[in-house]
Structure 1
């Protein structure tokens, strides 16, 4: 008895259904009467808001008259009556069943007002009670959150005058900004944008605003595509120039008994000067062992360049007898390492 019967829009496959926000036929007379009163400038037609205690007493009486349990707080709350606006006198339950859009808009503005106000007036207390009842239902609470997001988007638009800041406001992508929807590379969103282009919505609706924004952005695309193409051509030319200017060295081709072996080309890289580094090593405050110094120099010199492939060996008949080559047993001195690094640097310069 306390839960309202909500109306839902048809849902797309895989999407959660959304509440129908429009007013029912039962709500039309109240809307028209309110519109006529505003046209006349008649502000005295609304009665002053009743005190919370009086509203509670009337709600309990309604529950009893309907055969309900007055000890059920949610049921009693559903029978509280609206104390303001065009639906003044109608119950909270009736309101959620007949005009969810109006309700969520009121509650979104009330939440923002409550951020700075602690008023306990009859009007504010009545709105507090409505928020307590309506937001107990997740779908209504979500709509209130969406209304607040829409209001914040309108504030951004008022500051920037960029309609891309506005929310789509309807359909599966209603939480997207117009700019975000248009710029998206998601196939489903791109298809949605193309679908909107073919629509003929009623003037002034959120769909009409979205369609006009999309068509306006389409007109900007030729100039944007030309700019993008120019930038891409410039980047490609720069990359080609950098590739052709890179220094390369090639090893010669070697021939042995009719067998030809070609080595691969290698790209030389710049090497930092070695002399200052070696000087700092030799004059270091902490003495270094020969092994430490050799490791430092080897790290500085780096890996040797790729050597040409060894030429093909002659046949076993032509090879001379094998003799083991002598292995040096003398350790390289520090001065010889310094001289070797200097020679490498001179050769590379």
Structure 2
């Protein structure tokens, strides 16, 4: 499952990058567009669909109690893995594009200041100083010319090496990532689970408190998206082609690629034979964009209203898309 979720993020971001290049979207919105294409709603949306299918009378996945128990386990693991990817991979994509405008190239020509004029006069009086100064200017000019003519692949390589050499743990490990890691540790390590999880656990109050805070998180994120919706509908800079492209990526291209990937994984024995497990893996390719992307846009102050408009259209069309794909996936795994 971790690899399958990673496939959805990587393939979605690649398709989003192609969409950005084709539509020539505004630079400050590219991070939001890539985030909407890469991150699916692996939280409440997946939970609602799986529980609804399991609790249906005569459901396709057997006894409702067994289906619900296994489905909750699959969805919980999917939520934990998705949270790690969203707040590490997508978070840094949105962060990089939100701060990219400050790193744009400066104007070619600047007015000569008094200090530069004085340095020029001094260099003309002192030949040795003038020679060294001219060499310094030539080096600066050649460096700036080289920077301006860097090929696109080389630019990506330099940015990647810069990120590797100067990592920022504070930016990489967002609070949600730390929370997901702590939650996985508590759920995996038996001593922690016995102390914190269950009605008879000594520290059961901590679980109740975390559960209350977690239940309030999803409505709060929805309110943040809705609060920017009215202003976004009145004046949004999102081109219609971008919205159509995101819808096509999330609801047409990704699900088709997901069917191909899961089919070959089943053929080579790489996926468990449980139909419910395969159904969850397929659903991960057909989900609408994650609401967390709207939270990130609010956090960095870039594309809040535009992200809300994207969320409106994608979630409105999800009612039709999820119905069609869910029906097809059930038929596919049976």
Structures share a fold, TM > 0.5?
no
Q: TM-score range by the shorter chain?
A: under 0.3
TM-score (norm: length of structure 2):
0.21
Higher relative contact order (CA 8 A, sep 6+): 2
For normalisation by structure 1, the TM-score amounts to 0.20
Structure with more helix by fraction: 2
Larger Rg over CA atoms: 1
